Amino acid sequence: MSLSHRDTKGTRILESKIQSKAFQELSQAAETLVNPEIKRWREQGGKVLGYFCSAMPEELITAAGLLPFRMRATGSTGTDLSDTYFSSINCSFPRHCFNIALQGGFDSFEGVVCINSCDNIRRIYDNWKRQLPTTLVHIMSLPRKTGKPQVEWFRDEVANLKLLLEKHLNMKIPDERLWDAIALHNETRRLQRKLYDFRKLDNPPITGTEALAVIVAGTAMPKERYNQLLTELLDELGKSAGNTDYRARLLLMGGILDDPAYVKVIEDQGGLVVTDSLCFGSRLFWNDINERASDPITALAQYYVADRPSCPRMFGDYERRIGLVREMIRDFKVDGVIVERLAFCDHWGFEQFTIENDFQDDNIPCLIMDREYILSGAGQLRTRVQAFLETMGR
């Protein structure tokens, strides 16, 4: 199974019916770590700041004049180096990521900011500090709950990060710049929601594979450029006849999934992924940051702790989380749900259990899948999806 081919320069290109240059650029960004837009940014003297977790207020990074890059390990082939620091019972995402870091893959980054997202990721911070010469390595404490006290706590965390960036870069980040960054990122969210609106159609002009590539690209290039490319893509999609050759419409749920090839395996069986609840997906953009809040730091804290769709890492928010998924099932005319989980993820392990029970009660077809960060069990995935579609009578 191959999702992509390589061009004359050896760069992987996503196979797609969408032929526009905009889509090619976006998909290339998803299939590489250092894409042409990042190269251009750096050639112009720009700096890149890596961050883990979709709860990172990346608007602050933009406002500091840095390019926020959501950490991933695209292209990783092994964990030989990081296995000294992690164990085989750790999730493969941080192991691959840290392996690339030890290989020097992120050496050009100005810094890396972690969140205590999970037990695996939070230790990347500790190992990074000890093993790598990166000058700016920081961790933020994200609350486990989503109430007002938690928003206030995280407000201080965001303010602390702002101070840290200001000190590191020897600059001030005025509120106006933060508001501008919030507006810019909200524009990205609005465009991404438009993209998903197309997926509600009976003949969606974009597949789940392609959509994932587009969303991943948004975490790896300057937002102005991304918005421009996405606008071009949306124009093209509006003129497309769309896809009708599918057996079922699926919703994909889970944690970190940044590899369109995984979705392609599903879609190759006839299951068109029409929407998702992923942290490289709808959870990034389902609603906006309040641009009329009293101050930008509070607006960021409110959004990242309480307003945006949560993942199982947050306690006490299951009903809102699953409520949103149920709305999506209705609005996107979803026939079945696939809940994928990176092996050894405790958050999604219990969440799968709860979702399966709840969906069983509601007669919503549901397939529970475990996977590794690097696509390795394509055969098994193919068989499971085939069987799943058959059980749905598709």
Partner 1 sequence: MVDKGLERTIAERDHFEFLLKFLEESPSETSHLLIPLVRANLEHYKDTVRCIEEGKPVIASYFSNAPEIFTAMDIHWYCPVAAAFAGAGANPYLMNDLEGTDKLAVSSDICTLLRMAMYYTEAGLLPRPTAIVGMIIPCDGIVALHEASRRSKQWRDIPMFAPDPPYFTDERSIDYFAQELRRMVDFLTEHTGQKLDIGRLREVVEVTNEQYKLWQEINELRRAVPCPFNWGVGGGPFALTQNRWVGDSRGLEWFEAALADSEKRVKAGKGWLENERIRLLWFDVHPTWFFDLAPWLEEEWGAVIVMDMFSYCPYTLVDTLNEETMFHDLAKRNLMDTTMVRQAVGVADNFASDIVRIVKDYKIDCVVWPAHMGHKDGAASVGIMREVCRDLGVPFLSIGIDTFDPRYTTPDEVKNRMSQFFTAMGLG
Q: Which residues are at the interface with partner 1 (CB under 8 A)?
A: 84-87, 89-91, 94, 116, 118-120, 122-127, 130, 139, 141-145, 149-150, 153, 156, 312-313, 315-316, 318, 341, 343-347, 349-354, 356-358, 368, 370
Q: What are phi and psi of 114, to 5 degrees?
A: -105, 165
Q: Count CB atoms within 10 A of the CB of residue 271.
A: 27
Query: Could you tell me if 263 and 273 are in contact, meaning their C-beta atoms sit under 8 angstroms apart?
Result: yes
Q: Least distance to partner 1 from the beta carbon of 78, Å?
A: 17
Nearest distance, CB of residue 157 and partner 1, angstroms: 9
Q: Are 225 and 36 in contact (CB under 8 A)?
A: no
- Cβ proximity to partner 1: between 86 and 303 the closer is 86
Of the pair 8, 87, the CB lying nearest partner 1 is at 87
Least CB distance to partner 1 at residue 305 (A)? 11
Minimum CB distance to partner 1, residue 168 (Å): 19
Q: Output the smallest distance, CB 148 to partner 1, in A.
A: 11
Cβ at position 93, least distance to partner 1 in Å: 11
Residue 77 or 141 with smaller CB distance to partner 1:
141
CB of 123 to partner 1, least distance (A): 3
In order of 139, 142, 190, 305, the CA distances from 298 in angstroms are 19, 14, 21, 11
Range list of H helices, the chain: 21-31, 36-43, 58-63, 92-102, 121-131, 148-169, 175-198, 208-217, 223-238, 260-268, 296-301, 318-331, 346-361, 378-391
Q: Which is nearer to partner 1, 23 or 388 (CB)?
A: 388
Select 142 or 216, whichever has its Cβ closest to partner 1: 142
Q: Look at the block and give the residue holding tokens 């394509």.
A: 378
List phi, psi (to 5°) of 284: -80, -25
CA distance 304 to 185: 13
For the chain, report the end-to-end CA distance as a whole number of angstroms: 23
Question: Residues 6 or more apart from 317 whose CB is under 8 A from it?
Answer: 145, 146, 310
Nearer to partner 1, 48 or 297 (CB): 297
Q: What are phi and psi of 272, to 5 degrees?
A: -85, 120
**Alpha carbons 210 and 237: distance in angstroms, whole number:** 12
Least distance in Å: CB of 215 to partner 1? 25
Give the whole-angstrom CA distance, residue 270 versus residue 32: 27
Specify the residue, 192 or 352, whose C-beta has the smaller distance to partner 1: 352
Would strands 136-140 and 248-254 be described as parallel, antiparallel, or unpaired?
unpaired
Q: Which is nearer to partner 1, 46 or 318 (CB)?
A: 318
Q: Find tokens 């207020």 and name the residue.
A: 57
234 or 339, CB closer to partner 1? 339
Q: How far is the CB of 101 from partner 1 (least distance, A)?
A: 13
